[in-house]
Amino acid sequence: MVPGPEDALLDRYRGVRARSEALAAPLSPEDQQVQTMPDVSPTKWHLAHVTWFFETFLLQPHLPGYAPVSPAYATLFNSYYEGVGPRHARPRRGFLTRPSLADVMAYRRHVDDAMARLLAGAARERIAPLVTLGLHHEMQHQELLLMDIKHVFSCNPLHPAYDPAVRDSAAEAQPVRWVDVVGGVREIGHGGDAFAFDNEAPRHDVLLRDFRIASRLVTNGEYRAFIEDGGYERPEFWFMDGIETVRREGWDAPAYWRAVDGDWYEFTLSGLRPLDPAQPVSHVSYYEAAAYAAWAGHRLATEAEWEVAAAALPADIEAGANLLESGRLHPAPAVDAGDGAPRQMIGDLWEWTASAYANYPGFRPEAGAIGEYNGKFMTNQNVLRGGCCATPAGHIRTTYRNFYYPHQRWMFSGIRLAADA
Amino acid sequence: MVPGPEDALLDRYRGVRARSEALAAPLSPEDQQVQTMPDVSPTKWHLAHVTWFFETFLLQPHLPGYAPVSPAYATLFNSYYEGVGPRHARPRRGFLTRPSLADVMAYRRHVDDAMARLLAGAARERIAPLVTLGLHHEMQHQELLLMDIKHVFSCNPLHPAYDPAVRDSAAEAQPVRWVDVVGGVREIGHGGDAFAFDNEAPRHDVLLRDFRIASRLVTNGEYRAFIEDGGYERPEFWFMDGIETVRREGWDAPAYWRAVDGDWYEFTLSGLRPLDPAQPVSHVSYYEAAAYAAWAGHRLATEAEWEVAAAALPADIEAGANLLESGRLHPAPAVDAGDGAPRQMIGDLWEWTASAYANYPGFRPEAGAIGEYNGKFMTNQNVLRGGCCATPAGHIRTTYRNFYYPHQRWMFSGIRLAADA
Amino acid sequence: MVPGPEDALLDRYRGVRARSEALAAPLSPEDQQVQTMPDVSPTKWHLAHVTWFFETFLLQPHLPGYAPVSPAYATLFNSYYEGVGPRHARPRRGFLTRPSLADVMAYRRHVDDAMARLLAGAARERIAPLVTLGLHHEMQHQELLLMDIKHVFSCNPLHPAYDPAVRDSAAEAQPVRWVDVVGGVREIGHGGDAFAFDNEAPRHDVLLRDFRIASRLVTNGEYRAFIEDGGYERPEFWFMDGIETVRREGWDAPAYWRAVDGDWYEFTLSGLRPLDPAQPVSHVSYYEAAAYAAWAGHRLATEAEWEVAAAALPADIEAGANLLESGRLHPAPAVDAGDGAPRQMIGDLWEWTASAYANYPGFRPEAGAIGEYNGKFMTNQNVLRGGCCATPAGHIRTTYRNFYYPHQRWMFSGIRLAADA
Amino acid sequence: MVPGPEDALLDRYRGVRARSEALAAPLSPEDQQVQTMPDVSPTKWHLAHVTWFFETFLLQPHLPGYAPVSPAYATLFNSYYEGVGPRHARPRRGFLTRPSLADVMAYRRHVDDAMARLLAGAARERIAPLVTLGLHHEMQHQELLLMDIKHVFSCNPLHPAYDPAVRDSAAEAQPVRWVDVVGGVREIGHGGDAFAFDNEAPRHDVLLRDFRIASRLVTNGEYRAFIEDGGYERPEFWFMDGIETVRREGWDAPAYWRAVDGDWYEFTLSGLRPLDPAQPVSHVSYYEAAAYAAWAGHRLATEAEWEVAAAALPADIEAGANLLESGRLHPAPAVDAGDGAPRQMIGDLWEWTASAYANYPGFRPEAGAIGEYNGKFMTNQNVLRGGCCATPAGHIRTTYRNFYYPHQRWMFSGIRLAADA
């Protein structure tokens, strides 16, 4: 029998679910237990929470007779959905030594089995969009899992390596080119039938002036020049909130740079490595990105500019991109193909934009608790675009809007310069 | 001899300077000394800081032989201009019992005398723009002085009145009308030669969809209904950061509402008064404004929408507006003239917009320390529009961009609803 | 061959070391990883730190050619000995997912093997006192391990049980008797050759007035009466620092009491159980102990009074005492034998005394880093006496001085009343 | 007519009251308004609070028909007496710009007039003890007023002088002698009929070993040697809580030492002056005092030792002492009279003792709210003895027990060494 689309959905379900477990496989139960700051969640919690999503939004309402493993999980593994009941306080996720990792894996099996029944049943067509949302939700958490475990390991003076294999390149950084983009009334946002999060819609017109965008990300070497020029002590380049953060936190470099005997090293998912000046600078806050741009005499792009610039990319945006599947788990130096297109827009590092995260005109969140997915975060955060080396293929679009607070930097974030025409 | 334009400038200088002192006149030296939170500055400090501005940016560079009263004042009364040297820490402004109020008044005389000499000299034409900036800076601080002393008095269980005269109205709240505004490519921002702050420029095109805007501000009575409907306990109306602020701060009403024996009162610059349901609700944070709008089924306007709607106002926007000169020092109920135009857009209360504060495309801050005036604040804040009952006439424009953090509410802030067409 | 005293020491070494591992055995690697507050250390860290003690103070200086497992352990597992180099920050102990529990167990094996060689060598006589200190240090940590894991499990809404076996008694609380003690110049402190910590010496005279001491600990039932009488809201019973702690922390009952549907339950190492009114009240702070005593019209004993009263106990103080070996892991109701002696002075709960922790007259700390063991903590803490249900037999003496901050209550602490004669 | 003892009481009342006002006289209304940290109270508040004490404990209960100036003052000027009703939060005392200083002075007049009537009436004999308590309370606040305004002025970069007259001495520091004191059963505490605070009683036996006490206070020059020897960075001299305070607060010298261009200056009530190495080191915390003593190879005295040593002082303990009446407002170098007695025990600086503040055996607080005077502070503080240069004559006794937290140092505190015999 030829597999139908429902089988394809089940296959996708299984594929995504299997990858989460593969990503957790190198980690011990202890590694998967720990929360090193409120922003970080334990690996084990990620594995359970994405499962809770399927249980709560798919199995409970749509699979008659579904019996949950434990009623307590509804509270323990709810992240922030006020609409579905109470939740365990975020900064205390790391305290949950029980259920054990083994229990969580059993929970996954239980839900996977039920999902297989659900996807074999009559409801499969009706629920397909929600299943797809659940899979993208899990893919988001795959990236979170990696950036969170990187933070956990960064707090250990032993510098553990998630993946000991180092994939350094001997490449020199290529010079930056400026790519000119013509303004006018342009369209951005998600429009078609393919999957996208609610915050990417509706597709709508924006009005842009001509601008230029850099052909690649800012490198470690360039950023080191900013530091050596006294960048962190010169308030003229910084937002007021930024310079206060720098002073309060004692920042003098990106989050994972470490000075050892006068040389800069970088903590990576392969452990502590000498800083490679050709690699993109990563784990910078918005404040640092904006200060660097001011120091360099340029600026960051708005998210509309970024998306319009990305419209010029080849149709297969993921081809050659440094995404999770590359296995590098680290940004790579840009290689210019000479085709005039900007590099690294997809993958490598999420790129800070100058745009505060807000709804698009005409935005309507989904009804019910699912509608809490995005809209409630639309204050005090900035948009980042393009995915990173920890983003799964199939999970990134040019319309994808990621968002973080300006002071955060434990995610794979980087800097691309822009300028007025 | 007919007075020339320079005399007009000197007259304006004297007028603005005199009003600062008139506003401080009802206050004792003790009243003028106190800082009740880091956001608040003492009255005395305001009087000195605006004087420091003229000394630093006008007298020191442009009046040969100018001798400052004290070199220490350069540090004590610098607010946030990193480019002109060190500054006394903001949360410690209230610790400066010396110089005394009398000393500060002598400092004002000293600078005023020198300014009179400067404005009588050859440089007067060249420096006129900077003098005008200094006067607008002082007018800003006149409003700050009033909102700050309101906070100081609000911390005193005796409920002192800045102005004991109460100007209540017996008006009923008029029904809200919706004013339709046509979208398309519209222009906003400041363009002409008249004074404006750097953040209002350049004038530029924006693209808007058709929308509707409420004819008046939300009233105390309407807001009370939100409270009584459980508004502060229902997370579905709030941004995540908002509901966390509500819980952390224990908010259950606007900043100056006080429950006394089961009735709501409002602390005002005329002391504690029974809450008037017809008056606009004031001293709300952005979080509360947005939550109210969500509860009401509407939204806040963007700043571009607000400005385009304001373009339909009569040319003399200040006519009949409740500004500082009305002497009310409190918002007043809207009176609908039946002309179809929205009321209260100028004066009464600063209106929260949904727009994060950011530079306009092509924004260029002024060179030098003066350029720190606005740009460095362009993170984490939202734009408010339209001035308030403490804003001096001549200091408000439809292009004027005020900005505060979403959690702040000690300023005269209010809510106007908007909706998609 | 008859085993000599060195073999006895090795036997004791092996016995103590084995019990630490037996105590950890019911815990998963995840359970052993977590730190729920700065005061708490992970089980795994305890297992490693007591091993580090032997490595640092015995093997490194006394076993020629000893090769440490990892030089990093010297920093990771140092608790507070400034004299032996840097140390990993205490609140970050829970972040060390590596070394794994398996690594730590291997570390224990490595050190145990080396200790066996050392104890078989020529140095054994000379080092015996230090080995004994190390064993008492490890016994201390056995108690800490239990009170820490109790805190960890108390943060989990699933209420995990360390030991599911519940050993409830149906006993009624017996009435309190008052035991009269004659004052005068009495001796306290440790004097002989047997092991004691440096802070117990020298034995010295104290001058006491006649006093009375209660025959048993205060019970849950008695303490509940204090709560029901408004005890936590009545400042007249409290020290100023105590009432401020109550208000800031929102305390309204002992640390592990939980109100469920109007009834009190108690979280124990056997999970959540209905509060037994006959059991001693446990996990109270000094503030609560002193407030209860004031409410009851009595006071706490000084440590000198406590020790003099304990001098009247039978010689075999551990006989019948509820110590770790009882396996209850919880205080038990007092059973009065009718012999006129106070009960529960040894075991059950550490008893708060009114005495601030300070050196005895003539106190001399040990030379070197070992001297940091006790003296550096002699500020802001109060002395507790008598051991508890988690204290190993052989590790408690009537001269033993334990100490905690007045606000702490995660240890097994209780209340015994005293009064002037 | 010969004045009777009641007139003497009225005279004393007037004398004490007048001195409070004389101490405030050099201060502007602004100076008297400000609170620079929660421990500090505004001068104006001191003036009002001591008045409130007479109103609350004398006039309200004992003067029929007494009409208070304002019922609000009962809350505003209550310090910490829970038993007499609510109180204005301590950290917000500086917010009370109203009542004005003039209002407070009128309040003083009102209460003084009523007190004159009360002291002329039939109740005078019965209330004399309470009046005396009120006068000692006011004398305490005279000292607090001076140490608080010193802190206020220390926060001002202009370094204002409370009293511009500088009374430096050219004296060299005299060598320390050791005074031997014989131990045994000795009596301490207050016994007779003269006034003393409740915490000084009952007089009781203590048991002491022979000891030695230094003939004078530690000097600035000696303390500077401790600093130059790395004292603040060497944990071996510090209590754990002390070294953590040093690190958290960034301490590297006593509270009012200021490094200017490589030289040490000291902020005093006469402004900023070059550090005098012969003067006693002042404004040190208990942590610093104990660390200095450890560095010097000695220790601090217990309060019992201090009091027994003071029993050897001449009967007129205030003769020649540097108390408030000397007008120096600063400690002075010791001058050894060659009589073998220790110097500076009365006046100059409060001397930290090693004793935690606790009740004496048999201590009974006064009944009612007055009983809150002392007992509720008996946790976490240490006893200081001997008065200081800001203590009024007639307010110090050898039995007087002052107390502060170990981290506090804004009072006039100093160090005297002791040693075992």
Q: What is the pLDDT of residues C364-374, one digit of tens each?
A: 777 777 776 77
CB D232 within 8 A of CB D251: yes
The DSSP secondary structure of D306-341, one letter per residue, reads HHHHHTTS-S-TTTT-B-GGGS--S-------SSSP
- CATH at residue A289: 3.90.1580.10
Q: Does C100 touch chain A (CB under 8 A)?
A: yes
Q: Which of B131, B112, B105 minimizes the C-alpha distance to B22?
A: B105
Helix (H) or strand (E) holding A382: strand A382-385
CB D403 within 8 A of CB D384: yes
The predicted model gives B322-340 an average pLDDT of 91
All residue ranges of chain D with pLDDT < 50 are 1-3
Residues A294, A375, single domain; the answer is: yes
State whether D378 and C239 contact (CB < 8 Å): yes
Residues D24, D116, single domain; the answer is: yes
State pLDDT tens for residues C368-394: 777 767 788 999 999 999 999 999 999
Helices A43-54 and A124-154 pack at an angle, to 10 degrees, of: 170
Q: Does A378 touch chain B (CB under 8 A)?
A: yes
Residues C294, C393, single domain; the answer is: yes
Q: Which of C239, C234, C382 minimizes the C-alpha distance to D375?
A: C239
Question: How far away is chain A from the Cα of C329, in angstroms, using its nearest Cα?
Answer: 21
Q: Model-level pTM?
A: 0.96
What does the pLDDT read at residue B418? Answer: 98
Half-sphere exposure of C240 (CA within 13 A, CB side): 16
DSSP classification of residue B419: E
Question: How far away is chain C from the Cα of D300, in angstroms, using its nearest Cα?
Answer: 12
For residue A171, being part of any structural domain is answered with: no
For residue A182, being part of any structural domain is answered with: yes
State pLDDT tens for residues A129-151: 999 999 999 999 999 999 999 99
Residues B263, B379, single domain; the answer is: yes
State whether D29 and B30 contact (CB < 8 Å): yes
What does the pLDDT read at residue C170? Answer: 67
Token duo for residue B282: 């004031």
State whether C156 and A36 contact (CB < 8 Å): no
Question: ∠A304-A310-A316 over CA atoms, to 5°?
Answer: 145
Q: Does A178 touch chain B (CB under 8 A)?
A: no
Q: Which chains touch C (3 or more CB pairs under 8 A)?
A: A, D
What does the pLDDT read at residue B2? Answer: 47
pLDDT at A402 over 90: yes
What does the pLDDT read at residue C253? Answer: 98
Query: Can you list the alpha helix ranges (DSSP code H) found in C155-219?
Result: none
Q: How far apart are CA A404 and CA A382, in angstroms?
A: 6
Average pLDDT, chain A: 94
User: B with D: how many residue pairs have Cβ under 8 Å apart?
Assistant: 85
Q: pLDDT above 90 covers what percent of chain A? A: 86
Domain end, chosen from D94, D119, D154, is at D154
SS3 A219: strand
- Per the structure, the complete domain to which residue D102 belongs is given by 5-154
CB D216 within 8 A of CB D246: no
State pLDDT tens for residues A294-305: 999 999 999 999
What does the pLDDT read at residue B322? Answer: 97
Residues B18, B149, single domain; the answer is: yes
* Amino acid in the structure at residue A142: Q
| Residue bearing the bigger pLDDT, A339 or A92 | A92
Lowest mean pLDDT, pick from A320-329, C51-60, D34-43, D335-344: D335-344
pLDDT at C333 over 80: yes
State pLDDT tens for residues C194-210: 999 999 999 999 999 99
Q: Determine the residue among B97, B150, B151 to mutate to test chain D binding: the one whose Cβ has the most chain D Cβ atoms within 10 Å.
A: B97
- CATH at residue C30: 1.20.120.450
pLDDT at A167 over 90: no
State whether A155 and C72 contact (CB < 8 Å): no
Residues D31, D71, single domain; the answer is: yes
What confidence tier does B5 reach under pLDDT thresholds 50, 70, 90? low
What confidence tier does A5 reach under pLDDT thresholds 50, 70, 90? low
Residues A82, A201, single domain; the answer is: no
Q: Looking at chain C, which residue has its C-alpha nearest residue D235?
A: C82
What does the pLDDT read at residue D1? Answer: 41
Q: Does B88 touch chain D (CB under 8 A)?
A: yes
| Residue bearing the bigger pLDDT, D83 or A263 | A263
For residue D41, being part of any structural domain is answered with: yes
The predicted model gives C157-179 an average pLDDT of 87
Residues A146, A191, single domain; the answer is: no
For residue A50, being part of any structural domain is answered with: yes
Residues D406, D300, single domain; the answer is: yes
For residue D164, being part of any structural domain is answered with: no
State whether D98 and B33 contact (CB < 8 Å): no
Residues C232, C313, single domain; the answer is: yes
Q: How many domains does chain A have?
A: 2
State pLDDT tens for residues B68-89: 999 999 999 998 777 777 888 9
What does the pLDDT read at residue A1? Answer: 41
For residue D28, being part of any structural domain is answered with: yes
Q: Does D187 touch chain C (CB under 8 A)?
A: no
Chains D, A in contact: 3+ Cβ pairs under 8 A? no
What confidence tier does C1 reach under pLDDT thresholds 50, 70, 90? very low
If contacts are CB pairs under 8 Å, which of residues 126-155 in chain C contact chain D?
A: none
* A243 contact residues in B (CB cutoff 8 A): 82
What does the pLDDT read at residue D236? Answer: 92
Residues C133, C217, single domain; the answer is: no
For residue D167, being part of any structural domain is answered with: no
What confidence tier does A370 reach under pLDDT thresholds 50, 70, 90? confident
What confidence tier does B1 reach under pLDDT thresholds 50, 70, 90? very low
* C241 contact residues in D (CB cutoff 8 A): 379-380
Question: How far away is chain C from the Cα of A31, in angstroms, using its nearest Cα?
Answer: 5
Lowest mean pLDDT, pick from A102-116, A366-380, B355-369, C380-394: A366-380
CB D294 within 8 A of CB D359: no
For residue D73, being part of any structural domain is answered with: yes
Q: Does C31 touch chain A (CB under 8 A)?
A: yes
Neighbouring C-beta atoms of residue D2, cutoff 10 Å: 4
Residues B198, B62, single domain; the answer is: no
Helices D124-154 and D43-54 pack at an angle, to 10 degrees, of: 170
Beta strand extents in A109-173 (DSSP E only): none
Helix (H) or strand (E) holding D186: strand D184-188
Query: Pairing relation of β-strands D184-188 and D204-208?
Result: antiparallel
State pLDDT tens for residues B160-217: 999 998 776 667 888 999 999 999 999 999 998 999 999 999 999 999 999 999 999 9
Token duo for residue B397: 């424009």
* D89 contact residues in C (CB cutoff 8 A): none
Token duo for residue A223: 């950023």
* Amino acid in the structure at residue A373: Y
Task: State how far the alpha carbon of D253 is from the alpha carbons of A316, B323, C322, C357, D348, in Å.
Answer: 66, 53, 50, 27, 20
CB B180 within 8 A of CB B288: no
Q: Looking at chain B, which residue has its C-alpha nearest residue A356?
A: B356
* D358 contact residues in C (CB cutoff 8 A): 354-356
